[in-house]
Chains A and B, each alone.
Chain A
């Protein structure tokens, strides 16, 4: 792959489609989280969302302003304790506490930042590390009512209820067994999105550019009239207020605060997230939050069978693996996951910038590799690789092993990423062949592109079938569940519903049985004896699929709607795709297939 497979004009049709596809996937993933994951996994996702904001806070100082501040666990702690106090003692709602937490964080950021920013480089690292180490001791002071408000060494519970607007009930996952975690997921996600958008805008504004300039060349920025102390301090305080907001989110997510949660080790976790996600990038903070939570979870899970664990289940092995990963990343991938993804993306797609007159900086035809192009070959390889990886993943999935299982999970979804690339590239090559750009190789390129295109379309169709499959099973479960409710309403003897029962008993789902019964939409099943309900076994359905069913119990029409949409999407993809790649007239320039890609992404 000497030159990128796709070269698109900035803002052009294909560029827009590509970006639309990316956003489509992101939205699809965000929606799938509360639908497909187990409640405890949604909880982990919530923790990841909290850490995303915290990592972003660190990023603001370290990544965007080049100051080595390592003590943001303290700001998180301050936000968390302020929230705990306001919510528990003053009975405020979380939404109302947000401005308080942000303002307190900002003020403390200025108080710490003013002296701390006078020192440079490593001295600042030292001061902030000390700050992180000191914070957990301060919450234990029993003077001035501090310990009363913080709960002292024992910590304190915080209510996790949020005033939620009516439309919240409508969001996917909120109404099912996982309601409690799912609605917090949506609230936290909303906060993350708002914060990301805010930081993105700040960083591309004039003050944001000043902050970046300070990072790149402090003396240079000063010479150009940037007020160094002002920008540094305000940026630091902004970062502290974001950290404080992350503390508020922590309360909402965990429902419990204690000084021991906000130690130096949390600060180190944030730094690890920052570095592994990618220093100085917004996506880096997102990847960082996900990485810290999920990899720590993974290492914990593999520590226990190996015999390395403490009473709290957090094996020292997980810290060792974290340390090792940190060192390895610093050595081999200093740009973190974000730059790895950018590097891969650069190999696949190149965006040609525009001149001020909205013309490409050089004619797009100039980027065409000419008759010797091997793009169709690569499209073919990707088209074949998708199903092959899918099958490998499917085989591996049946091995009962955590690491292999994770790998299998990833492999099964390779097709999701590969299919759009294949369709795009095949489309372009087919057109190029028709336009005569492939010279003597036109026939070969066209046939390869056609074959690859068909495979790509089928890959899309498979992805859509996957969605249909989920919808189908969900409908099945919702049907059974409704039957149980009906039986109860009619005063008949209650019978255990095999499928639901099995779902409740299968895998890790047992603990949620009570949840399920308690939050059953009509409320009538709440009186059911859980033991009776869960007594009969049935081998058909596994937990992740039933969970979709739980959501759909309250919304039986939604599963039908999802099924209908899926079927329409599959038919549309196959028909339009085959029309373009198989039955197309050589003289016709079809615009339709590109829409195929969009449909596949959006309804996924």
Chain B
């Protein structure tokens, strides 16, 4: 049995008077790729935000045995959680280089530039545009930049919020290949939120389906893929 990177118990979250999450329970084992599926407004994005303490929550979030429910966002990042928010979340007025540097904000070692070079190798298109403002990049490039920036903090858990949103199918496939590659090569744990269930389930080890703030279904990715309910709702079968 693999060690649990992340364990979430009875997670509630609310925006004002609206309760968005109503008692989620899920686990992310170390080294795995876990995907959360769900329709619009099911609470996927809120789940990821709650993990980083970006909204009002109750419940317990444990990372490698430590309770991080009430930890500050900066401390959570320092523990190795990198979050690629929905809609990329790059810094449009900063250059690509600065975007990567700010990703390493929590690090105090001297290998930042080495890491920058490493990610430039993996995303060569970013290197071409290293001094360009991030706001002038194309959607796909921005997504790459957002991922590269998240990786700059040397995370052990990568939270990806709908990386496929608004991208052309070819680019999405390319992106997901890179994710799979990352997971294989570095053993990076990933928690992926997606609507593109096909691709996500192909890559994932385990999946959860959220409906109106509650877990409706969960199981190994293969099993979910063959589940008739999932097929009907998310795979368009």
Asked if A and B touch directly (CB within 8 angstroms), the answer is no
